[in-house]
Amino acid sequence: MTEAFDLDWLDLREPWDAVARSEALAAKLLARLPARPRFLDLGAGTGSLLRWLAPRLGRAQSWTLVDSDREMLEAAFDTIVDRAEEVGFHVTAPNRRTLLVHAPGGAWRIDTLIADLAEAPRNLPLQAADAVVSSALCDLVSRGWVERMAAALRLPFYAALCVDGRASFVPPHPADARVAAGFRRDQARDKGFGGPALGPRAPAVIAEAFAARGFAVATAPSDWLIRSRGALPHPVLRERADALLGDLMQGHAEAARAQDRRGGTRIEAWAAARLAQAAEGRLAARIGHRDLLALPPGG
């Protein structure tokens, strides 16, 4: 059973993911695709990657959203419908498993597939895809999972928002290093993908595995820079910054406590200070991520 995520957390982080992903790397992927591309979106959650990438393609396309959580995929359909109608796109549902978003340039066909991603790629319809894509997934998987994926694919592989181990908070706190050490240990525990999770090693391990099979690999930074003050690219970021920082601090503290029982008191004090700073709008964070694109040889 792979690790599950809360719907509220996915909704909270979506605007930050959207401004963090590399536009240049996404454009490079889209330039490689056929006229009506078919995407296989692994760990699709509520469909945030679709909502970001599909308008950039701007033509007819089809998506299969893959997740092990039926509730998550049902929420994806609801969210896609709501967001499409907000911008004036007509949506139809030919059946309970398919949506059609009638966007300028061509319709987006969206289907769902409930599948245990730990078993990938053997349980995936790779023959019906032109690209395998994911967002905020590959730091959870194991080295063996990546090796199997690289061996099976003859398609572009795009992995956005892989954590790379960089994290900094302003203002600093004396317990930052202790919390970070515990959090890094927690990132490496088995997340249900058949071995220790890659965590911040994900970009390097993915690049190595695909390059060894002749893929051309490119990466680009896609950091979160979270703050509620100063210049921000969209008003919704300011509105959600303090809530996202609060959830992020709680997550870091819980993960660190699970790995560092002796440091519980210091970690609790760190969490209390950080939550107070977030609530007061005095906290900022940079969380390092990288996007990765592996293109198969030929073409």
User: What are the angstrom distances between the C-alpha of 101 and each of 19, 50, 93, 125, 129?
Assistant: 23, 11, 9, 22, 19
7-164+193-225+287-295, which class in CATH? alpha beta
- To which residue do tokens 């719907």 refer? 7
For residue 231, the model assigns a pLDDT of 65
Q: What predicted TM-score, i.e. pTM, was given to this entire model?
A: 0.94
pLDDT single digits (tens) 8-39: 889 999 999 999 999 999 999 999 999 999 99
The encoded tokens of residue 41 equal: 């979106």
pLDDT in tens, 177-221: 999 999 999 999 999 999 999 999 999 999 999 999 999 999 999
- Domain limits, the chain: 7-164+193-225+287-295
pLDDT for 240 equals: 83
Ranges under pLDDT 70 in the chain: 1-5, 230-233, 299
What is the torsion angle, in degrees rounded to the nearest 10, for the CA atoms of residue 178, residue 180, residue 182 and residue 186?
180
Residue written as token pair 């080295």: 143
- Number of alpha carbons in the 13 Å side-chain half-sphere of residue 77: 22
